Each structure stands twice: as structure tokens, then as C-alpha cells.
Chain A
């Protein structure tokens, strides 16, 4: 529509000028009010439409890469706001961009380029444009279009150019205000995130805040944070509906922003996923990502990870996005550094404290055992693992467990020797001298593996302990939990391994370690004996020998105090004339007396004037000095161990400590044996009580009931005699009564015999057994050869044993002859040193044999079971030899006690 206004040129000009001024003023006001740049652009375009009466007006801004972006568009729906166009080809915007001067095109046919094509399609005819210059550079352009029916006014370029100049400032202002605003927002956002970091927020919290701010500021809703691990990226944060899930691992071979950032260490972007291969690109496509930017997280100079942000809109992400994202990634990097630094510091502090504590142990003169134990405990605590063990490699292909921290399971005892056979963490470490980690023992073999399996060990890390340049041993951290030991375990344990290595390099420590190992081995050998229930004499002898060997003591003796001022030597080792079994009286003021009085070790350094037999014997043995260490049983001095020194071989300073553990073992052995003896004695008492009860019952029956019944029988006889023969009924009646009576008497006699054989107590085994076998259906050869009559309980036991054995044989053996032999062993088979001190014991032997079918079963309801109980109760031994078809032989040995 052409303006119908004043016709004179000046008037026209003035009114146009007024319009322009008014429009400009409006725009200026808008800018001053702080309108967004976009609004200002629109306002300008509208002003141009109105003032210049042009139907189609657009404003564009030149972007990088020879493109332009529409920032305002009125009347041209094919060039909407935000659309981006390449400046290749011929177009008004391209001409302005190149020349910085207004340009005009009347006819787009045949012109190259996207814009020209679109113009043709939209039927554009006249198009003209003027540049918008800001700070001397071509910032953008205003484009006007019209159709043939409404040609441009004559001087439209000039006027438009002048208008645009005036507007340029406003535009620049608006833009810079926008920039400022954006900047301010960005600063505020960074500030907020920085505050989190300053307050030591965890990286996860910081990332969440970053995701929120970036989503808002950059309008990029799909944010993820990735940590690089080898050739992969692990997603450690994802906002909103990001298709990646936290914890997922992606290969960096696949093209992605994250992979690109890793490679370059700088911000990167991808604006088109349509042709990219790989799963990440596919994921991006399926999520509808059109554009994605990423910035690296640099921690301590290394590319630790990256943050990427993507959108799904049509337009690619703004240029500055990478830079602005980078500002946020810096903050995240700071948070991570902080955290790691804090953790590192904490770990360091813990380690320092642990090492300080250990140093104190050493300074206090702690024994090597204490130090090693302390090291493993500290290591376990500081490193935060379930258990730590310390092993030394022995020359014979074995590792000895020297110390271990408190474990949640039942561990092998310290001193255990483990062969290094097979393929496992220890054998590998032994071979390579390197730190080894094994998180899965499935393919491991060897004794170590068997032990690990039985303890339920899953993940383990072993570090070498190097002392004096040699591989000395290893410190191994283990866990039975399913997740593997953290990656820092190797480095953390290393500190402690070094400590041990250093300590071991120190010769003194090494010596004490060796002594410790030897001591452990010696104690274990003795402890095994005790545990197996070996005879005390054996234990005493073993203790003397081990102690002498271990501490290099010339003579070691184990003594039992008899309670009456004398002691007996019960175990001895070394070059000495003292004999086991010899008995000595306690010198009233000697070291023995002191021990008895105080229960504490005593030393004696001079025997030159020791009186009596003891003094003579000591001097003859060339013993110069002694150290006596008491053996305490049940809180009382049971005896003591003596370490005797000879010329040139003095007792070591720490002999009391070294003997102390042996004295404990002796005490245990003695307690055990006493308990056993008590047990046997009490069982014997029970058996004896039973026998006694039976004897009493039998006695009562005999003396009381039987006598009365017999008397009764005699009375009846007498009475019957007074009744006349003619009174048949009376006679018969009484006869029956008499018969009944005899029957009762017979029953009683049977009962009595079962309770206690009448002849046994009176006449002894010979008579009783001969009476027993007189009526035997199988002939019995009886041979009894005893020096004196055995004690009541023994005699009873032998009688019942023989009776039971014979009964069994008669019932089952189908033999033709039975033999019974009872004798003692005068040869004196050693019975060991008895605790009651009554010297050597003699055994009574009972042998019952037959030539029958054999195959006797000692269980299953046969009387043999009760027989063995009796034998056990008296502390005897029972042997059954019964081959099928080869007869049966029962042999019993019982400790002999005379009456």
C-alpha cells in the first residue's frame, strides 16, 4: 500500500523522519528497559515494516563458518527465527557479508545456494538488505523483500541503511546486555556450584548441581558425567532422562564426544550423529540427540573424565556452549581433586599414625612377635581389609605364617607352614617378587589355594617384603567379601611391607624372628604331644629336649615336687649324670625353696659350697649355675624346670622367658594327666561301689534270708516227723511246703551266685574260678600264677572278666577246649612315670582263648561290652583277636595292685 500523505518531498521526508524517530525512540526505550535482544530484533523488524511499509522484513546475524542465523522474521515463514543458512552461493546476505555494503537482488532464477533456492521456491522478487555494523564489524543485516505489485520506494536502501545505523547501537546494547545478563547468570551459577565445592561436597552432589545449572543456562537437558578408566568411560552421573545409566561402561573406541575429549583433552562437539558408527552414536540417535558438546574434567593435569551435554532440538548447540561447559567442568574437577586430596590426606594421616605406633613398639623393645602382630593389625585397620597375614619364605619351599591380624573366621595358627606348591598368589609372588593381586581363586592350585578355599577367601593382594635386597616374605591382604579389594590396597599395604622389610634387614630383629620361629616350632611339637594325650613322662622328656635345643642350654631338667620336701627328676636332656626317677631333698634355703615360697623363677650362680648329695652331684656334673622356673598347676607349684649352665656355656639372659612357655605346656600336660587319672579313679570307684553293693546284698541274703529259710525248712522237717503216717493229707501238704521251700532256697542261691561268687572273697581267684569251671560243658584249662592276692576290685574284675569271657565262649565259640591264663609281668614292662610316684607299675594279664570259630563281635549285645567297661574303669587295656575260623583270644592287661 503506498502511503497517501503529503505530496511534497520535504513534507514527506519530515513525516517519514518523524516516524523513524518515533520508532527509534520506542526501540531505545525497550533497550533501556532491559528487553531481551530477541525482542529488540523483533521490535526493529516491526518498526521497519511499519515505517517503510515493506511487507516482509527479516533481521539476521552472521555466525561463524559462513552461515547466518535469522533473529527476526516478519512475513517470511520459510525463513523462520532461529533458522540457519549457509552463505554459500549468491544471496543478499552473502553479498552484504562479503562487501559490508547494501545489496539487492531482483531475480533469483539461476542463482546458486540454499538461500537462492528457498527464495525461488517462496516466489521472492525484490530483495534488498543493509548491513548492521557493530563496533566496526558487520554484525548482521536487515533484509527487506517485496513483490512486483509493491515495489520498493526509490531511496529505500539509503533510508534503511541510515535507520539501521541508528538501530545498530541499540542492537549492540541489547546484545551486550543479553551477554551481560547471560554472563551474570553464568557467574551466579558457577558461584553456587563453587560454594558446594568449597563446602567439600561430594563429586556426586557437585555434578547434580552442575547438571541443573547447565540444563537451565545452556538449555541442554541431557547431561552426563563420565570417568575414564583405561579404554572405557564409566558413567558416574546422568541427569534427567539421559539414556545412559549411572554405572554403565562404554568403550572409547566408539565415536562420541566423550571419546573425542579424551583424545584431545579439550572441549569437543558433535552436531550430527546420523552417519556415525558405533553404539554410542546409535544410542544418541535413538534418543534423538542432534547436537552434543563435551568438556574435559582435568584433575592433577590428567584428563580424569568429561561432562557432555546434548539436546534434541533442531538447532545445533550455541557456539559458546563448550567454553561455558568447560567452566563448570573445572569446578567439578576441583571438587574431585578436593575429595581425592582429602581422602589421600586422611589415608596418609592414618598410615602415619599407624607407623608411629609401630615405631613406639620397636622403641619399647617389644619382641619380634609383638611387632609383627602389631604390624598386621595396623595394616588391616589402615588399609581397611578383613585380614592381613605376614609370611616368611623358608629355604625349603614353604611359607611360615608369622603373624596375622584378628580375622572374622577361624584362622590357621601362627607358625603354620604352608607349601608353596601349585599356582597361586604366593607361589607367583615368590617367583616374580612382584605385588600380585588375585580376585578369583578358581584357577589357582596348591596347598595355599586349599587353605584359602577353606577360609572362604575371595580377593587378595600380596606384596613382597624385601630385606637386605632379598625376598624375605610377604604381607597379604585378604577378604571373604564378594567385591574385590579396592585398587588402593596395593599401595597402602606397600608401606607396611616396607616397614617390615626394614625391620627384618635389621640383624637383631632377624635373629629374634628366627628364635621366635624356632620357639614356635618347638612349642608346637610339645603341644602336639600334650594334645594327643601322651604319657606325662614323654611330655617331660620332650620339654627338656626342646628347651635345651632351643635355648642352647647344656642341661635341662623337669622336676616334680613331692610335697614332702623332696623332688623327683621326671625329664632330662643334655650331658648329665642325673637320671630320670632320681629323688632329691629340697635344700632349705636354696633356690628351690625360694621357688616353692614365691612361685617365681630363681637363679643360683654358685654351687661350690652346696652341701650333701645334691651338691656333690651338681659339682660332679660340672654344673656352674642354674635358673629354675616354676611349673604352676592349679595355682600351686607342681615342680620346676631347671636350666643348668656349664663352664663356657652360661645361661642366656632371657632363659626365664624362654622356658616360661614350656612350663605352661608341662602344666597343661600334668593337668590333663591328673584329670585322666582322676577320671579313671572315679570310674574305678563306681565299679568298686557296685561290686561292694552286690557283695553286701549277697551277704545279707546269705546271713539273713537264707539262714531263716533253711531254719524254716528244718523246722518243717521236724514238724512233719511228729505227724502220724496215717495223716496222709497233712504229710503231703507239708511235703509240698518243703519242696516249695527248697525251690525258693535254690532260687536264692542262684541269685546269690549271680551277685557275688561265694568263694571269691574268702578263698580268692583260684578257688572261685575252679568252682566256676567245674561244670563247664567245654573243658577249661586254668592256669593262675600270681605272686600275691590282688586287691578286691582287681580280683573281682578278673573274676567277672573271666566268667563273662567263658560264658561267651561256651555260648558261641563251638570250641573243643578253652584256656584261661592269669599272670603278672615280672619283667616290668614300663608303665611310665605314674603321678602318684609309686615307681614303676606291674601289669596283671588275663588271657582267655578258645580254638573255636572265631569272628566274635565285641558289640551287639554281647557281654564283651560290659567287660571292656570294667577294664577301662581300672585303666587297663583290652585286646580282642578273633579271626574267622581261627579261634578267639581275649587279652586284658590291668595295673596290678596287691591287697
Chain B
């Protein structure tokens, strides 16, 4: 059973490449969103297993979205991603209901797997 995930990021290049990569690694990317609103709709409709959410959504806050997803679609596991490294983010991650954080450059199916397995 392939992992089903949605990607939430406002960089089109990243979404395309990330989707292609994950697909090539056996993850089924069922939806792409660039805004909180789209992300929530997709999550509710498609009920993916995992949502990868960019912390730096320009208009809305990725951390906030993570919180909203967790409360509205608790079945979805949220993984926060960012162009910044963990060190740059300080204690932002600690309070979030997201299950973990992956720097974008290190994105891979196995990274997500290891978070899910925890």
C-alpha cells in the first residue's frame, strides 16, 4: 500500500520536483496546494496519510496550518518542511502538532517513513 501524501508549498518548482522525486521513490502524491485553504480542502477530501507543509507559506503560516490540519483532519500526519535548516527554526517546531521536520533539500520517501514510524 503506497503512502498517500499531499504537498503544500508556494514554490511551483519545488512542488514539481518534490512530487516527481517522491513518486519515483514510491510515494503517491495525491494533491498539491499552495495555500492553507486549498491544503485543508485537499486534506478533507482526499484524506491522505501525510501532508508535507512548508513552514514559510507566504500568506499564511505553515505552523498554523499544521495546527489546523491536526485539529480538523486528525488522520493526516503533518510533516513540516522548510528551506531553512532545523537550527534556523529554533523552538518553532517544539510546540507544533506536526510529527516532525525535514529540510527540503533532504526530502525523500525514507525520511518521511522514518518520521511516520516513530
Contact = CB atoms under 8 A, between A and B. Distances in A.
27 contacts: A703-B58, A710-B105, A711-B11, A711-B14, A711-B16, A714-B14, A714-B17, A714-B18, A714-B20, A714-B107, A715-B17, A717-B21, A717-B108, A718-B20, A718-B24, A718-B25, A745-B105, A749-B85, A749-B88, A758-B89, A759-B89, A759-B90, A759-B92, A763-B90, A768-B90, A770-B91, A771-B87
Contacts of A745: 105
A707 B11 contact: yes
A771 B21 contact: no
Nearest to A749: B85
A721 B11 contact: no
Interface in B31-51: none
A266 interface: no
B90 to A, nearest CB: 4
Contacts of B17: 710-712, 714-715, 718
Nearest to B23: A718
Nearest to B84: A758
Interface string B76-98: 00000001110111111000000
Across the A-B interface, the 3 shortest Cβ-Cβ residue pairs: A711-B17, A771-B90, A707-B11
A753 B88 CA distance: 9
Nearest to A709: B105
B56 interface: yes
Given A708-B13, A711-B14, A758-B84, 7 more contacts: A706-B83, A707-B11, A710-B83, A718-B21, A757-B88, A758-B89, A771-B88
Contacts of B88: 749, 753, 757-759, 771
A775 B87 contact: yes
A807 interface: no
A390 to B, nearest CB: 76
B18 A771 contact: no
B21 A715 contact: yes
A707 B14 contact: yes
B20 A771 contact: no
Nearest to A767: B90
Contacts of A483: none
A717 B24 CA distance: 10
B87 A702 contact: no
A771 B94 CA distance: 13
A710 B88 CA distance: 17
B56 A710 contact: no
A679 to B, nearest CB: 36
The secondary-structure label for the interface of chain B is: helix
A767 to B, nearest CB: 5
A712 B16 CA distance: 10
Given A702-B83, A717-B108, A711 B90 contact: no
A148 interface: no
With a 10 A CB-CB cut-off, give which of B17, B25, B56 has the most chain A CB atoms. Answer: B17
A431 interface: no
Contacts of A757: 88
Contacts of A708: 13
A582 interface: no
Contact of B91 (A714, A721, A767, A775): A767
Contacts, number: 78
The secondary-structure label for the interface of chain A is: helix
B4 interface: no
Contact-residue size bin, chain A (C-beta under 8 Å from the other chain) = 20 to 34
With a 10 A CB-CB cut-off, give which of A714, A718, A745, A753 has the most chain B CB atoms. Answer: A714
Contact of A707 (B83, B91, B107): B83
A721 B90 contact: no
A362 B62 CA distance: 86
Interface residues of B, number: 27
A713 interface: yes
A753 B89 CA distance: 12
Contacts of A721: 24-25
A717 B17 CA distance: 10
A636 interface: no
B24 A722 contact: yes
A78 interface: no
A742 interface: yes
Given A718-B24, A721-B24, A749-B85, A710 B104 contact: yes
Contacts of B58: 703
Contact of A711 (B10, B18, B56): B18
A762 B61 CA distance: 9
A713 B105 contact: yes
A898 B100 CA distance: 34
A808 to B, nearest CB: 22
Contacts of B18: 711, 714
Nearest to B15: A711
A774 interface: yes
A763 B95 CA distance: 13
Contacts of B83: 702, 706-707, 710, 749
A703 B11 contact: yes
A712 B104 CA distance: 11
A715 B16 CA distance: 9
A767 B13 CA distance: 29
Contacts of B13: 707-708, 711
Nearest to B103: A710
A712 B17 CA distance: 7
B20 A715 contact: yes
A748 to B, nearest CB: 9
Interface in B46-83: 56, 58, 61, 83
A889 B33 CA distance: 50
Contacts of B16: 711
Interface in A611-636: none
Contacts of B108: 717
A745 B17 CA distance: 16
B7 to A, nearest CB: 11
Contacts of B20: 714-715, 718
Nearest to B25: A721
A714 B83 CA distance: 13
B89 A771 contact: yes
B56 A702 contact: yes
B84 A770 contact: no
Contacts of A749: 83-85, 88
Nearest to A742: B105
Contacts of A742: 105
Interface string A742-774: 100100010001000111001100011011001
B21 A714 contact: yes
Contacts of A722: 24
B59 to A, nearest CB: 13
With a 10 A CB-CB cut-off, give which of B24, B83, B92 has the most chain A CB atoms. Answer: B83
B35 to A, nearest CB: 15
B13 to A, nearest CB: 4
With a 10 A CB-CB cut-off, give which of B11, B89, B90, B107 has the most chain A CB atoms. Answer: B90
A770 B21 contact: no
A722 B60 CA distance: 37
A722 B88 CA distance: 33
Contacts of B85: 749
A707 B107 CA distance: 13
A648 to B, nearest CB: 71
Nearest to A722: B24
A770 B14 contact: no
A757 B84 CA distance: 11
Contacts of B105: 710, 713-714, 742, 745
With a 10 A CB-CB cut-off, give which of A707, A722, A757 has the most chain B CB atoms. Answer: A707
A768 B92 CA distance: 10
A46 to B, nearest CB: 145
B62 to A, nearest CB: 10
B113 to A, nearest CB: 15
B85 to A, nearest CB: 7
Nearest to B90: A771
B91 to A, nearest CB: 6
A484 B114 CA distance: 106
Given A708-B13, A717-B108, A745-B105, A763 B92 contact: yes
Contacts of A775: 87
